[in-house]
Amino acid sequence: MSDKKTTVQHEEGLDIPYDQLDPATLRRMIQEFVSRDGADWGDTGCSLEDKVEQVLQQLRNNKVKVVFDLRSQTANLVACR
């Protein structure tokens, strides 16, 4: 049996309405998000702009949201539950 204690970390964040962000800032955030894995979307017949538009549509449909993490002081896109 292990004496290790499991620590559960809770995120502390604020939901940020995407439509209150500067459109250029939101677009750059989405571009960074969809290119994190280093994928070359042109190889799959899908451009970076296509992926950005897909994420924008997910934001509009409340499938994805913008969350500002208070601990790291960063914003991220996360799936809605």
42 or 14, higher pLDDT: 14
Note down the domain range covering 45.
Answer: 13-79
Is 61 domain-assigned? yes
- Long-range contacts of residues 28-32, Cβ cutoff 8 Å, at least 24 apart: 29/66, 29/75, 29/77, 30/55, 30/56, 30/77
CATH number at residue 74: 1.10.10.610
- Computed over every residue of the chain, the mean pLDDT equals 84
> What is the domain count for the chain?
1
pLDDT for the residue 45? 75
pTM here is 0.75
